[in-house]
Copies of this chain bind each other. A is one copy, B any other.
Amino acid sequence: MQRIVVLAGGIGGARFLRGLKSAAPDADITVIGNTGDDIHLFGLKVCPDLDTVMYTLGGGIHEEQGWGRTGETFAVKEELAAYGVGPGWFGLGDRDFATHIVRTQMLAAGYPLSAVTEALCERWQPGVRLIPMSDDRVETHVMTDDPAAPGGRKAIHFQEYWVRLRAEVPAHAIVPVGADEAKPAPGVLEALAEADVILFPPSNPVVSVGTILAVPGVRDAVAASAAPVVGLSPIVGDAPVRGMADKVLAAVGVESTAAAVARHYGSGLIDGWLVDTVDAGSVPDVEAAGIRCRAVPLMMTDVEATARMAAEALSLAAEVRA
């Protein structure tokens, strides 16, 4: 059985995984999930990326929105607002709340996040093994302008930057706070070492895949793996397919093009790279950087289109391996 390891963020990663499961129904898939955008709200531990993967693969996702639960209601949030308790900008639904309540209770009882995630997945049966990148707290902060702060800048939580400010203010740096001291969760390094293929889905290269790679040991394990490492560009035609990856790429000094993201990962890390057909012109550029590259349709319009993308990624991996 082919062992596939995927480093996944939220919506993009989750949708890609659904296509991958369809393209490789017999594969043994391990997902290393980003927890850098986790946030504590109302005393509860919220893991947006892990939940998006779990809900998407488990059939509970709000399809159009891409995050949160289908059939969701917002009574708790409305009531919290009536008490003057916020933040109101984070869309926590009633069904979603239950997940965070269970998680918070289990964490308080002493279980590590990886064990909690496994327990939550017992209900959702995502059909993959979902492991948080780390059981330790890592929190992505964004350095923004604040005339009132000393030095004129202030670090804010990624969710505040992303959801509340919609990435519309300048981001001067992206800092995965706590990453230096974090250890990979149990199973992360083992999965990478034993992988037949490692995939980077079209997730955000900075705040999703980049944060996972920032956990000490993970980048080395990916680089050292005998398995081919293939990524899919989240940038199509010089703009992110979804989200605001261009904003955070700028913060780390990377151009918002499919080729620039490939070079950002580098040939030391990835062996293959898929760009969209509209970016076919950048293939030689990527190959010049020592990365095998192919241009294929990269729009995840439905599960079938996404499955074809995943199949192309596996096919490129096989080609690289051979």
Residues of A within 8 A of B (CB): 42-44, 72-73, 75-80, 82-85, 93-95, 97-99, 101-102, 104-105, 108, 120, 123
Say yes or no: A95-B83 contact (C-beta < 8 A), given A43-B104, A105-B43.
Answer: no
Additional A-B contact list (16), CB under 8 Å, known A44-B101, A73-B73, A79-B99? A42-B105, A43-B101, A43-B108, A72-B75, A73-B75, A73-B94, A75-B75, A75-B93, A75-B94, A75-B98, A76-B94, A79-B95, A82-B98, A83-B120, A83-B123, A85-B102
> When the two chains form their complex, are residues A83 and B97 in contact, meaning their CB atoms are under 8 A apart?
no
Select one of B75, B77, B94, B101 contacting A42, CB under 8 A. Answer: B101
> When the two chains form their complex, are residues A76 and B105 in contact, meaning their CB atoms are under 8 A apart?
no
> When the two chains form their complex, are residues A80 and B94 in contact, meaning their CB atoms are under 8 A apart?
no
A-B contact pairs, 15 of them (CB 8 A): A42-B105, A43-B101, A43-B105, A72-B75, A73-B75, A75-B95, A76-B95, A76-B97, A76-B98, A79-B94, A79-B98, A80-B101, A82-B123, A83-B98, A83-B102
Chain B contacts of A79 at CB under 8 A? Answer: 94-95, 97-99
A107 to chain B, nearest CB (A): 9
A67 to chain B, nearest CB (A): 16
Q: Which residue of B lies closest to A123 (CB)?
A: B83
The secondary structure that dominates the A interface is helix
Chain B contacts of A99 at CB under 8 A? Answer: 79, 83
Cα–Cα, bound, A85→B77 (Å): 21
A54 to chain B, nearest CB (A): 12
Interface centre among A98, A99, A123 (most CB of B within 10 A): A98
A137 to chain B, nearest CB (A): 17
Q: Which residue of B lies closest to A97 (CB)?
A: B76
Chain B contacts of A78 at CB under 8 A? Answer: 98
> When the two chains form their complex, are residues B75 and A123 in contact, meaning their CB atoms are under 8 A apart?
no
> When the two chains form their complex, are residues A84 and B43 in contact, meaning their CB atoms are under 8 A apart?
no
A116 to chain B, nearest CB (A): 11
> When the two chains form their complex, are residues B98 and A80 in contact, meaning their CB atoms are under 8 A apart?
yes
Chain B contacts of A94 at CB under 8 A? Answer: 73, 75-76, 79, 94
A311 to chain B, nearest CB (A): 34
Cα–Cα, bound, A243→B94 (Å): 31
Cα–Cα, bound, A44→B97 (Å): 13
Chain B contacts of A95 at CB under 8 A? Answer: 75-76, 79
Cα–Cα, bound, A77→B101 (Å): 10
Chain B contacts of A42 at CB under 8 A? Answer: 101-102, 105
Cα–Cα, bound, A102→B80 (Å): 7
Cα–Cα, bound, A102→B41 (Å): 11
Chain B contacts of A105 at CB under 8 A? Answer: 42-43, 85
Q: Which residue of B lies closest to A44 (CB)?
A: B101
A140 to chain B, nearest CB (A): 23
Chain B contacts of A104 at CB under 8 A? Answer: 43
Q: Would you list the 7 A-B pairs with minimal beta carbon distance, nearest first?
A: A79-B98, A75-B94, A43-B105, A80-B98, A94-B94, A79-B95, A76-B98
A120 to chain B, nearest CB (A): 7
Q: Which residue of B lies closest to A119 (CB)?
A: B83
